[in-house]
Amino acid sequence: MYILEDKIYLHFQKTGGFSVYEIIKQKKLKKLWFKEHNGIVSIPEEYKHLRRFTFMRNPYDWYVSFFFFHEAMRLRENRSAWINPFLRSLTFKNTCYFNQFIHGACNLKEFYIEHPAMHEEMIKQFYIVMKFKNKGWVETWFKNPDSIEEDLAIDNLDMTLIDWYMNIMGLNEPNTTIYKLENFKRGMEIEFGPTEEVPHKHKSKHNDYRHYYNEESIREVDISHRHILDRFGYEFEKT
């Protein structure tokens, strides 16, 4: 999240956030407040009236980028403690290959019902995180935050991983503009005026997203993310 004098940029992971930061720096815009991936609950009261904007990526493509970015981090740095417990359970398992990851990401509730041991691990990790995070920020993780003290009632997780992120970021809240990532340059020009091209920073290393899906995982994303696919006009593009 980058708070400027007249707007707030919400950094939705794997949608060009560090390129946005680079453009803001190039234009020497005044920064009022900065917390990289924080959601709307973290916005200081004095800035909550400001308009927000962010970018959305094709869910099929987003999952590939997300998966390989975090898998590379795990292999390179053996570092996963900073990541929230849901993602830690879903991605930081040697046996969790991409299409298994997609199955879990399409419905977090079903994933943890199918893997009770991971649910227990997630609960333990969550309470570790709670010791170091503001509870108000964490409350945006759930559909029903009133029950978070009840060992994370699994019904709270009845959503997809992208829905979960959109919930954290407040992308369904009013006063928020969402550009498609394919229109990145145009979105930047609307927000900041004429903009030079900037390099794609923190790019995940992987092939075209279509390379990784099988028929079942295509179907799972299509069904569980239909509301997002229709809203933004995305689909699994044919070769």
Whether the per-residue pLDDT at 148 is higher than 70: the answer is no
| Whole-prediction pTM | 0.83
pLDDT(25) > 50: yes
Q: Is residue 204 part of a domain?
A: yes
Segment 39-97, tens digit of pLDDT? 787 888 999 999 999 999 999 999 999 888 877 766 665 554 444 455 555 555 444 57
| Residue 185 is assigned to a structural domain of this protein | yes
Number of structural domains found in the chain: 1
Residue 187 domain-assigned?
yes
Asked if residue 176 is part of any domain, the answer here is: yes
Angle between helices 215-224 and 98-106 (to 10 degrees): 20
The 10s digit of each residue's pLDDT in 158-199 is: 889 899 888 878 888 889 999 999 999 999 999 999 988 776
Is 238 within a domain? no
pLDDT confidence band for 149 (50 / 70 / 90): low
Tell me whether residue 239 is in a domain.
Answer: no
More confident residue, 133 or 234: 234
Is the distance from CB of 101 to CB of 65 less than 8 angstroms? Answer: no
The boundaries of the domain holding residue 71 are 2-232
